Structure 1
Amino acid sequence: MNEIPRFLRPFVAEHPDLPSPVAVAPNLDLYLPDAVSGPHPVVLLVHGGPIPDDFAPTPRAWPVYIGYAALLRAAGVAAAVVDHRYHVVDGPDGPTVDAVTAAADVAAAVEALRAHPDVAGDRVVLWAFSGAGLLCADWLRDRPAWLRAIFLSYPLLASPAPHLPAEDRLHLDPRFAPIDAVAGAGADAPPIVLTRAGRERPLLAGFVAAFVAAAAAAPLEIIDVPDGQHSFDVLDDTGESRAALHAAVARAVAVLEDGH
């Protein structure tokens, strides 16, 4: 009865404390490194969902995103966390995952960050977790020049609706189809770094396998966590988990600093 909710469980890796964030927008926190002067390349951490619209605390305060932001900042790049409106709403065909609004919120956060004087607007990594993996379809299709890489941690990469009983289905705008998007992206796609949990839920694992197969021509890198669960970075307090998340952070920093 006293079990800590998953979203409030501690990050499995030790990290330095974060300073107070720069409030770029009401839903967007920016953490700037203090070792060197800017402008700094930035990683935008994009939480999963859907979550209730009155959920508290909001993802910007969850230990998992604070942990990743702290590690990125300590490595010398800026990190940002956005609260986006990835909620379930009433649609014409029934309950709908409002990925359209969530994607618009993320796009607005990117533009706000790129306009900030302490951010290098041409060096941005988008890092999606869990259900936010669906949003990467837009990024794979558009491939803006400022997008240096797409990071995906235990992502949802297809709508589970067809696999659910009719009464449990949530509708989703068909544009959010990462498997189709990555198949059409080819070698000119931004680098994609996928952190794959070996003990992922079977349905999500199947979508990940389909995404990997569709990405045969794309620049895809995989960081495997063989014994990791979905949300291994808060659920599995192991050396394997820490090694995987540190590898992903290091790769994000390398992409931003080296440009490839």
Structure 2
Amino acid sequence: MSVFILVSGPFTDGRVWDEVAARLRQSGADAHQVTLSTRPEAGVQTHVEDVVRLIDSLGRPDGDLADPVTPPRQVVLVGHDYAIHPVLGAADLRSERVARIVHLDAGMPQDGDAALALVPDPSVHELLRAQEDGPRPVPAPGPAEWQRWGSTEGLSAGQLELLSRLAAPQPPRTLTQPLRLTGAAAAVPLSGILCTAGGTTVELVEALVRTGPPQFRRLADPRVGFFELATGHWPMLSCPDELAGVLLRAAADEGRRLTVPEGGSPLLGPFLLDAPERPRVRDGRVDLHLPEPQGAPGPWPAVLFVHGGPVPSGHVPAPRDWPFYLGYARCTAGLGAVGAVVEHRLHGLTDYARAADDVAEALELLRADPRVDAGRVALWIFSGAGLLAADWIAAPPPWLRCLALTYPILAPLPGWGAVGPRFDPVGALRAGTPPPLVLTRAGLETPQIAATVEEFLSAAEETKAPVEVIDVPHGRHGFETHEPTDESREAVSRALRTVLAHLTRPS
């Protein structure tokens, strides 16, 4: 018999699980609904302790806590939204009691992460920053405000009223206190239940596993299974029957398994073009790959490559040492320009401002180098770092001759409210006068990312922005890391030639 512990997201309590819990019990399972502490001083550790106490109270099947023979019952911990933080914290402390952890439309927080990083409502970030006299509880949403926290698809007006009626203010330290994990629960099987109306699908997760930051590759573990529900962010209300059924299947170790190519991360495989090593100079966060001195004498034009992300802090090897970015930089040096790679600090969704500062600082360092022609610089941005393009689209300096974007994310994805309004390239394009743009588009891009690219191109057409699109019809996100094809090689070669042509064009 499965024993479920159901923990809901911010503002809500155990009552939102009433229908799901009833259906689980009708199926022969045991279900326990958690109401987390709402004391103003409560933090995420308080909520971890709430869940641990319930686990400890369950004891053994016969109810005898002191029975030395019968093992305690193992539980399936279900964390919805914010609640994945206390669920993971409790699993870390009671890993021997946990049969499975279920992420219900929830993120993947790591040790040291605060829940605020995954809060999609930017007004909450502003509210907590603005409280000079100490943090106060975050007010519960009204019926029309729940959509700021996730898709409300599938919820009736009455259910939204119910959510608000049952809601309580969220203690601020539950959002700002870092989660502490020792790794004790690393071997516990996981299930992910994705509510697709919010934009996250198994296909998107699989793309991240295949070509995204390294932390996602652990989702290809055979102990991890995925499910989709075609509904919004509160399936315990919008489709309780379907959710109960999926939870039972998760407890039975069902779910779609993801795979990754053999041989380690594809980002660490050989570059798809011949890219002979060039002299490399490291200056702080920036590596400069220099043209051969026997060619045209410097100062040379330069291209700064901005790696995708988020990438975990301290990842080894660092992105500027990945063959992927080394290949781009070395090919640029082979064409007679300095190829530079910046090691920026985009480690999470709340780090875009810091990463933007790193990129701006790298450009100034690059332009100040005597080997670089300070008036001929291009910026080349990849993947999840695409949002960093907004600053350079809105107010490009005269020395920025070109902005290249390769399979970029060009508007915050669903649930990325923590990024903030500054990092919106589509909005920047409508408000600014961008430099020449070179956009490499993957034909087999995930629908969520492709939608941001199409929105960007529509804005470019409206504003008559100078954009050249290089299509890779059969390419996926991160196509350079897959088996090279003539199509992908030609796309990269053409993008390199196009960017260099902008750098060498007369002013």
Is TM (by shorter chain) over 0.5?
A: yes
Q: Distance in 2 between matches of 1:29 and 1:17?
A: 13
Q: Distance in 1 between matches of 2:465 and 2:499?
A: 17
The 5 A counterparts of 1:1-20 are: 2-19=262-279
2:471 maps to 1:235: no
- The aligned counterpart of 2:121 is none
Say which SS state the counterpart of residue 215 (structure 1) adopts. Answer: helix
- The aligned counterpart of 1:27 is 285
Say which SS state the counterpart of residue 229 (structure 1) adopts. Answer: coil
- The aligned counterpart of 2:441 is 196
Deviation at residue 7 of structure 1 after TM alignment = 2.1
**Consecutive aligned runs of 4 or more in structure 1 exceeding 4 Å deviation:** none
CA contact (8 A) 1:228 1:236 kept: no
Q: Distance in 1 between matches of 2:361 and 2:452?
A: 28
Deviation at residue 170 of structure 1 after TM alignment = 6.4
Q: Distance in 1 between matches of 2:453 and 2:350?
A: 20
- The aligned counterpart of 1:138 is 391
Instruction: Kindly provide the CA deviation profile for residues 64-97 of structure 1, in whole angstroms up to 9, marking residues without a partner as x.
Output: 1111111111111111001000012xxxxxxx43
- The aligned counterpart of 1:52 is 312
Instruction: Kindly provide the CA deviation profile for residues 142-184 of structure 1, in whole angstroms up to 9, marking residues without a partner as x.
Output: 110110010000001111134xxxxxx5621210000111122
Deviation at residue 198 of structure 1 after TM alignment = 0.1
Deviation at residue 227 of structure 1 after TM alignment = 0.2
CA contact (8 A) 1:122 1:145 kept: yes
Q: Distance in 2 between matches of 1:130 and 1:136?
A: 11
Deviation at residue 6 of structure 1 after TM alignment = 2.8
- The aligned counterpart of 1:41 is 301
Q: 1:222 aligns with which of 446, 469, 487?
A: 469
Q: Distance in 1 between matches of 2:316 and 2:429?
A: 34
The 5 A counterparts of 1:106-117 are: 106-117=359-370
The 5 A counterparts of 1:73-84 are: 73-84=333-344
Q: Distance in 1 between matches of 2:420 and 2:399?
A: 26
Structure-2 change in CA distance of 1:239 and 1:125 (3 Å): same
Q: Distance in 1 between matches of 2:417 and 2:483?
A: 29
Q: Distance in 2 between matches of 1:170 and 1:184?
A: 21
- Identical aligned pairs, as a percentage? 46
Q: Distance in 1 between matches of 2:504 and 2:475?
A: 29
CA contact (8 A) 2:306 2:359 kept: yes
CA contact (8 A) 1:12 1:237 kept: yes
Q: Distance in 2 between matches of 1:113 and 1:13?
A: 25
Deviation at residue 259 of structure 1 after TM alignment = 4.1
- The aligned counterpart of 1:173 is 420
Q: 1:123 aligns with which of 376, 387, 390?
A: 376
- The aligned counterpart of 1:154 is 407
Q: Distance in 1 between matches of 2:482 and 2:324?
A: 10
Q: Distance in 2 between matches of 1:57 and 1:97?
A: 23
Deviation at residue 190 of structure 1 after TM alignment = 0.5
CA contact (8 A) 1:100 1:173 kept: no
Deviation at residue 236 of structure 1 after TM alignment = 3.8
Structure-2 change in CA distance of 1:121 and 1:9 (3 Å): same
Instruction: Kindly provide the CA deviation profile for residues 188-243 of structure 1, in whole angstroms up to 9, marking residues without a partner as x.
Output: 42000000000011100011000000111100110000000101111141000000
Q: Distance in 2 between matches of 1:259 and 1:142?
A: 21
Q: CA RMSD in A?
A: 1.4
- The aligned counterpart of 1:68 is 328
Q: Distance in 1 between matches of 2:428 and 2:410?
A: 10
CA contact (8 A) 1:161 1:171 kept: no
Considering only CA atoms, is the larger Rg found in Structure 1 or Structure 2?
2
TM-score normalized with structure 2 length: 0.47
- The aligned counterpart of 1:92 is none
Q: Give the aligned residue type for 2:281.
A: V
Q: Distance in 1 between matches of 2:356 and 2:424?
A: 13
2:351 maps to 1:104: no
Q: Give the aligned residue type for 2:358.
A: D
Structure-2 change in CA distance of 1:50 and 1:170 (3 Å): farther
- The aligned counterpart of 1:166 is none
CA contact (8 A) 2:395 2:434 kept: no
Larger proportion of strand: 1
- The aligned counterpart of 1:213 is 458
Say which SS state the counterpart of residue 474 (structure 2) adopts. Answer: strand
Q: Give the aligned residue type for 1:136.
A: A
- The aligned counterpart of 1:182 is 429
Say which SS state the counterpart of residue 138 (structure 1) adopts. Answer: helix
2:488 maps to 1:246: no
Q: Distance in 1 between matches of 2:278 and 2:383?
A: 24
Q: Which has the higher contact order (CA 8 A, sep 6+)?
A: 1
TM-score normalized with structure 1 length: 0.90
> Which runs of no fewer than 5 residues in structure 1 stay unpaired?
89-95, 163-168
